[in-house]
Amino acid sequence: MRAQFDKLKKWRDELSICIRCGYCYELCHLYKSSHWEGDTPRGQLVLAYGLLTGEIEASSYVAEKIFQCFHCKNCEKSCSANVPVTEIIRDARADLKGLGLEVQGSTMSIDDDLCSRCGICIAVCKPEAILVQVDGKLAVDRVKCEGCGVCAASCPSGAIYQREGWGITPEELGERVLSSLQEA
């Protein structure tokens, strides 16, 4: 039985409008760090189209690619066809989550042992991706989370973090600064 992608269905026309020109990845942070087509907005749109048409099977790998977008919207500013890339990606995330394929990607995580439940992260989260669960613990809605890191920067207990590998954790940034200084 083929998976249903109810939220992606409304984007069928926009996914067909994308002419795969590649302007979207010229300013893409992910592409600049990986140089991998699947990490580009164009690559993610191709994956979304493949999921919608059934040409691509939903998998953890595909979900990981879809969930790694930072929603900076540079791709939309560069798109000559005016495709709403981040909205399509958000709906693809929701459909994948509905299939049980929620992965971390570039979204934030909360360490319950460190979290003091002060709520500062809730107040600063623009996409309202941090939720209070029934048991009082905080959770990140990975569909809404844009991976901006504002919640992590404001967390006084350091309970919110992002998986390493994106070049934005304090350790990774420190390594880049030291590398730059050594080159200079």
Would residue 183 count as lying in a domain? no
> CA-CA distance, 39 to 50, in Å (whole number)?
15
> CA-CA distance, 132 to 140, in Å (whole number)?
9
128 and 63 in a common domain = no
What CATH number has the domain bearing residue 130? 3.30.70.20
22 and 63 in a common domain = yes
Final residue of a structural domain among 49, 78, 98: 98
Would residue 124 count as lying in a domain? yes
In tens, the pLDDT along 64-117 reads 999 988 888 999 999 999 999 999 999 999 999 999 997 888 899 999 999 999
Average pLDDT over residues 136-161: 93
What CATH number has the domain bearing residue 33? 1.10.1060.10
Would residue 148 count as lying in a domain? yes
Would residue 176 count as lying in a domain? no
Summary mean pLDDT of the chain: 89
* Residue 38 pLDDT grade (very low, low, confident, very high; cuts 50, 70, 90): confident
Whether pLDDT at 46 is above 50: yes
Would residue 57 count as lying in a domain? yes
* DSSP one-letter string for 44-107: HHHHHHHHHHTSS---HHHHHHHTT-----HHHHH-TT---HHHHHHHHHHHHHHTT----TT-
Range in 45-59, 131-145, 160-174 the model is least confident about: 160-174
92 and 16 in a common domain = yes
93 and 13 in a common domain = yes
Average pLDDT over residues 50-59: 93
* pLDDT at residue 44, rounded to an integer: 93
Q: How many structural domains is the chain composed of?
A: 2
Would residue 114 count as lying in a domain? yes
Q: Which domain holds residue 75?
A: 6-98
137 and 59 in a common domain = no
* pLDDT at residue 110, rounded to an integer: 95
Would residue 181 count as lying in a domain? no
Final residue of a structural domain among 78, 98, 118: 98
* pLDDT at residue 117, rounded to an integer: 94
